Structure 1
Amino acid sequence: MSKYLLNKFLFTVDRDPSLVERYRDDPQGTVEWWESTEANRLLNCHTGESSTWLRFADAEREALATHDYPRLFELGAHPFLTLTLFIAMFERDHDGLGFQLEYARRLAHFSLPYPDIAT
């Protein structure tokens, strides 16, 4: 399992409006595409350098493919990265702060200490 890769997915998708929409509409396809083409690209590297070994664990892939943000939090995804991406995808489906309240409600069962988010 790689919290780095999980957070990298959330970070990179959240920064591209077309990827946000793609992930909202086709989460499984977006996760498969991103893992096969983007996962091993180095962040902030424009020279084509990449690694070859990064892959999601099955639990990470499944949580991403089902938009299961409580499970992502449990797996160590950074809550700010998760919250900002899911706000971009689902805030329009709720009134006011409805999505943020739903996010808080679905994560309310966690108590201190929270899952480790260090990468």
Structure 2
Amino acid sequence: MSKYLLDKFLFTVDRDPELVERYREEPRATVEWWEAEYANRLLNCHAGEASTWLRFDDVEREALATHDYGKLFELGAHPFLTLTLFIAMFERDYPEPLGFQHEYARRLSHHKLPYPDIAT
């Protein structure tokens, strides 16, 4: 398991409006594509520099592919990164103000302190 890779996915997808829409509409295909093309690229580095070992495990891949932000929280994905990406994807589906944020809080409400470790 790599909390770093989960957070990297959330961070990079959230910063590209086209990727946000792609992830919303085709989550499994987007996760597979991102893992193959971006997982091993270094952030903020020159083109051509990359690692070779980063991969999602099956649980991470499935949580991302099904938009399961509750599971992502349990896996240690940073809640701010998760929340901002999922707001961008799903806020429009909730007519009331802060509708998605309330749904997010409801889905995570069963967690008690201490929360999962979000340190990478």
TM-score, reference length from structure 2:
0.98
**1:71 corresponds to 2:71:** yes
> How many Å separate the matches in 1 of 2:114 and 2:17?
33
Matched, 1:102 2:114: no
Task: Tell me how far apart the structure 2 counterparts of residues 46 and 88 of structure 1 sit (CA, whole Å).
Answer: 28
Which residue of 2 is the match for residue 118 of structure 1? 119
- Deviation at residue 45 of structure 1 after TM alignment: 1.0
The 5 Å alignment of 1:3-14 reads: 3-14=3-14
CA distance in structure 1 between the aligned counterparts of 2:62 and 2:81, rounded to whole angstroms: 18
1:10 aligned counterpart, secondary structure:
helix
CA RMSD of aligned residues (A): 0.5
Residue 37 of structure 1 corresponds to: 37
SS at match of 1:77: coil
Q: List per-residue Cα deviations over 1:4-62 (Å, max 9, x = no partner).
A: 00000000000000000000000000000000010000000133200111000110000
Other-structure match for 1:49: 49
Residue by residue over 1:65-90, the C-alpha shift from the partner in whole angstroms, topping out at 9 and shown as x without a partner, is 00000000000000000000000000
Hey, what's the Cα distance between the residues in 2 that align with 1:111 and 1:84? 22
TM-score, normalisation: structure 1: 0.99
Task: Tell me the secondary structure at the aligned position of residue 4 of structure 1.
Answer: helix
Q: Distance in 2 between matches of 1:97 and 1:52?
A: 40
Q: Does residue 2 of the first structure (1) align with residue 2 of the second (2)?
A: yes
Task: Describe the SS at the equivalent of 2:119.
Answer: coil
Unaligned runs of 5+ in 2: none
- What percentage of residue pairs aligned between the two structures are identical? 82
- Number of residue pairs aligned between Structure 1 and Structure 2: 119
Counterpart amino acid of 2:15?
R
User: Which residue number corresponds to residue 27 of structure 2?
Assistant: 27
